[in-house]
Amino acid sequence: MDRATFADRIRSVVHKCSESYVVRGSFAHDDFHLDSDSGVSLSDLDLIYRCTEDERHRRARDVETALQESHGIELRVSVQPDDHHSPLSPEDASYLVLGEYLRHYYEWRNDPWKMSYLLAKTTLGILRSTPSERYLTVATAINTRDARVAAAVKTGSARDFGRDNARRLLKVGMGRNSEAWRLLSVLDLEPSPDTYLEYVADLEKRESVHPWMRALMTRLLINAMPTVTHS
């Protein structure tokens, strides 16, 4: 399935579920991930709709089901009550990108394909100079081989982006965002429970992060945190 057909099917299902949904993120900007071989997307579908917490979960499940039943498309859907990304400072927007990396790390660490996608998306995302700058714009601005590979992996036309690629790209683009060093500092390590707890504690101090988003990220990271067993 080509990207245009895939995007059209997503928009059609979303529109049928509710004309009031606002699509944001990668499906709004057409830089979503779509594997050219399998037709599988690792991107989340982010929707905005003013509703209660219980209702947003139900609506997300309804859209996921509709995508599966209509076109056999499996996507993780998120319904958010408002656009809390636009007011973010560049530093806080990048900090939330690091949170997404930690959130998915233990879920995806044993799958080289998904980890390549996670590294590429995180590296480009954390190097944005503004919260609205898109992944492909970052890659074009830096314009190194690693940046081009990251863009290809992020959108699905390639599958291999490793830690060495991420390190080089971060070092080249370090001046674009002061938060880039945080990702560089965790690339060689398995994030520990302390990494997650320190992140959550720092998140409390991020003034441009909306309380709803702060609470959501905190909950997601506590659930994703590795457990420590004692012999």
Q: Which long-range contacts (CB under 8 A, 24 or more apart) does 120-123 make?
A: 120/149, 120/150, 120/151, 120/153, 120/154, 120/161, 120/165, 120/166, 121/33, 121/154, 122/97, 122/98, 122/166, 122/183, 123/150, 123/161, 123/165, 123/166, 123/169, 123/170, 123/183
C-alpha span between 98 and 162 (Å, rounded):
16
* Residue 148 and residue 74 share a domain: no
Q: Which residue has the higher pLDDT, 69 or 85?
A: 69
* Residue 213 and residue 153 share a domain: yes
CA dihedral 32, 35, 38, 42 (to 10 degrees): -50
Beta-strand pair 76-80/22-24: unpaired
* Residue 147 and residue 76 share a domain: no
pLDDT tens by residue, 170-218:
999 988 888 888 888 888 788 999 999 999 999 999 999 999 999 999 9
C-alpha span between 27 and 24 (Å, rounded):
6
Would you say residue 13 lies in a domain?
Answer: yes
* Residue 218 and residue 104 share a domain: yes
Would you say residue 230 lies in a domain?
Answer: no
* Residue 182 and residue 100 share a domain: yes
Which of residues 47, 80, 113 is at a domain's end? 80
Instruction: Confirm if 123 and 170 have CB atoms less than 8 A apart.
Output: yes
* Residue 209 and residue 112 share a domain: yes
pLDDT at residue 156, as a whole number: 97
pLDDT at residue 227, as a whole number: 80
Residue 48 belongs to domain spanning? 3-80
Which of residues 80, 102, 119 is at a domain's end? 80
* Residue 195 and residue 153 share a domain: yes
What CATH number has the domain bearing residue 64?
3.30.70
Beta-strand pair 44-48/22-24: antiparallel
Reported as type and span, the H/E element at residue 46 is strand 44-48
* Residue 76 and residue 103 share a domain: no
Label residue 228 by pLDDT band (50, 70, 90): low
Output the CA torsion sign for 105, 33, 174, 149: positive
* Residue 209 and residue 131 share a domain: yes
* Residue 74 and residue 156 share a domain: no
pLDDT at residue 152, as a whole number: 98
* Residue 168 and residue 95 share a domain: yes
* Residue 167 and residue 69 share a domain: no
Which of residues 40, 56, 80 is at a domain's end? 80
pLDDT tens by residue, 47-72:
999 999 889 999 999 999 999 999 99
Q: What is the pTM of this model?
A: 0.93
